[in-house]
Amino acid sequence: MKKLIYCFLGLSLLMFIAVAAAGYWGYRQIENLAQQPITAQADQLLTIERGTTGKKLGEFLQQQGLLKDATFFPFLLRFQPELSAVKAGTYSLNGVTNVTELLQLLNSGKEAQFGIRFGDGETFKQIRQTLAAAPHLQLQLGEKSEAEVFDLLGLAPVEGQTLKNLEGLIYPDTYHYTVNATDVGLLQRAIQRTQQALDKAWQQRDKDLPLKNPYEMLILASIVEKETAIASERPQVAAVFINRLKRGMRLQTDPTVIYGMGDNYQGNIRRKDLDEKTAYNTYQIDGLPPTPIAMPNEASLQAVAHPADTTALYFVADGSGGHKFSNSLAEHNQAVQQYLKWLRSQKNGN
């Protein structure tokens, strides 16, 4: 009887040891899996579909070459439930070094972000090209005309706007988006930024401006944007145009001529270009052109809203990146001659 008891106890002990050993081995497998290194390709993305279970996730990661063996993956999620709340989305694997870090990323919901830049002073044509080349962006604009895009965006015209035109309405900045975002959605965000900045500038503007409505402010701000990249000069440039409008003088600004030339512009303006009457040639038309000529930022809007206190009516490049401002035509002509002299010296290598 004692032998039978000893035998039973011995078998029980062996079974306990075997189970404990198996448990320890399984635990070690789970622990090793959690720390298993992951080698991802540069800029590799991982998309997790909605409703992916732990088992399916393990199999998927193995298919993607991120796990060597997914057998113990469901047990890893069971033993570490804080890693089991995986969220659907597309993730960048940059910086992920092991399975635990991967699961922490998938639990965070921090999807891969991409950036797109709409530059200061760009035109809608340029922005459309930027959108078409952006990675992982759903394109809905297609070959639609600008008026059709205007309607697609569900826009109401800015006060004073008569054409369904997007020039000037897209705020220049860097915008971030996730996979499957749309070009329409990005444009709507950028247009909202401009609408906010324009409304602020119009409401806070100096009261003696010769501008009838917010759209005229936007048009003039776009011209200021194209005339100078120096922030400190913008109020002075705006003041020159404001002064000319008050006196009934034509704006005579080259960027409007260039915009009116469209694809015919090849890098220089000839005399015949200045003489050709287009809707945008401010050497030939009175007042403002019918639409903005580029995308102005808030600094240009504020410069128009609060121009410098000056009586200047002219300006010309000074050769140092800035401009020389003049109160009279005689002063201006002298400044032009100085600039031409500087240009000649540059060509001669002096």
pLDDT higher than 70, residue 233: yes
For the stretch 270-292, pLDDT in tens is 999 999 999 999 999 999 999 99
Contact 16, 62 (CB under 8 A): no
**Mean of pLDDT over the chain:** 89
- Rounded Cα distance between 153 and 59, Å, is 42
Q: What is the DSSP letter of 263?
A: G
User: Per CATH, which fold does 32-112 belong to?
Assistant: Dna Ligase; domain 1 (3.30.1490)
| pTM listed for this prediction | 0.84
pLDDT at 2: 56
- Angle at which helices 214-227 and 254-261 pack, to 10 degrees? 100
Can you state the angle between helices 214-227 and 183-203, rounded to 10 degrees?
100
pLDDT, one tens digit per residue, over 307-334 is 999 999 999 888 778 898 899 899 898 9
Percent of the chain residues topping a pLDDT of 70: 91
Q: How far apart are alpha carbons 40 and 303 in whole angstroms?
A: 49
Residue 20 has pLDDT above 60, yes or no: no
pLDDT at 343 over 90: no
pLDDT (mean) for 254-268 = 92
Cβ(243)–Cβ(262) below 8 Å:
no
Return the H-helix or E-strand segment holding 47: strand 45-48
The full set of domain ranges for the chain reads 32-112, 124-312
The string of DSSP codes covering 231-300 is: GGGHHHHHHHHHHHHHHT-----HHHHHHHHGGG--S---HHHHHS--TT-TTTSSS--SS-SS---HHH
Per-residue pLDDT for 60 more than 60? yes
The pLDDT of residue 300 is above 90: yes
DSSP-derived secondary structure letter, 37: B
| pLDDT score of 168 more than 90 | yes
